[in-house]
């Protein structure tokens, strides 16, 4: 496995890892919300609230979360699929559902880009982009909320899932 971490213009961070699995298999794991807690690896993602596979741009999928710095500890996020191009790319905005049922997104975006490397290898780049986060949110949240190694760790967890280990 090869990897690299780079920060681009202080508004996004990405990591790349070559996985020993075909792009279709990697994409299937990424499109399965029940796998996201294992991919993340921080303990922040607890479990999917919406368990249906991710199949359409605009689809909303919610996750039960936990973070010690969150005012409630336990909370939910609502993710909206922005990019869905099997087996090449998948990405979503993260936000929350307000008390009135309205969804509000904070401006940060997760994206996986997959490049097939023959029948049994895939280069995967994970990008976390916070360039659209408004100043009002930046006043109380630090971006990114994790170190750049988090993305590399997530890709290693993904590699373990797609290899069956």
Cα–Cα distances in angstroms (integers) from residue 79 to residues 19, 93, 160, 164, in the given order: 25, 5, 24, 27
Torsion angle of alpha carbons 21, 24, 27, 33, nearest 10°?
-100
Distance CA 143, CA 72 (A): 20
Which of 28, 24, 26 has its CA nearest to residue 1? 26
Q: What is the pLDDT of residue 70?
A: 64
Flag whether pLDDT at 138 surpasses 80.
Answer: yes
Average pLDDT for 84-104: 94
- Residue 6 pLDDT grade (very low, low, confident, very high; cuts 50, 70, 90): low
- Residue 72 pLDDT grade (very low, low, confident, very high; cuts 50, 70, 90): confident
Q: What is the pLDDT of residue 55?
A: 97
Most confident of 69-78, 87-96, 142-151: 87-96
């Amino acid at each position: 496995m090869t990897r690299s971490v780079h920060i681009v213009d202080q508004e996004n961070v990405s990591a790349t890892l070559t996985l020993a699995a075909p792009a279709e298999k990697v994409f299937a794991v990424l499109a399965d919300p029940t796998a996201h807690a294992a991919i993340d690896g921080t303990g922040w993602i607890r479990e999917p609230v919406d368990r249906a596979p991710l199949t359409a741009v605009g689809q909303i999928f919610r996750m039960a979360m936990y973070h010690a710095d969150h005012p409630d500890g336990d909370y939910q996020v609502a993710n909206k699929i922005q990019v869905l191009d099997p087996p090449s790319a998948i990405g979503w905005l993260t936000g929350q559902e307000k008390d009135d049922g309205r969804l509000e997104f904070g401006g940060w975006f997760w994206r996986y880009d997959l490049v097939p490397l023959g029948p049994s290898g895939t280069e995967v780049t994970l990008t976390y982009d916070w360039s659209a986060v408004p100043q009002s949110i930046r006043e109380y949240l630090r971006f990114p909320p994790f170190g750049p190694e988090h993305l590399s760790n997530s890709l290693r967890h993904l590699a373990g899932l797609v290899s069956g280990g």
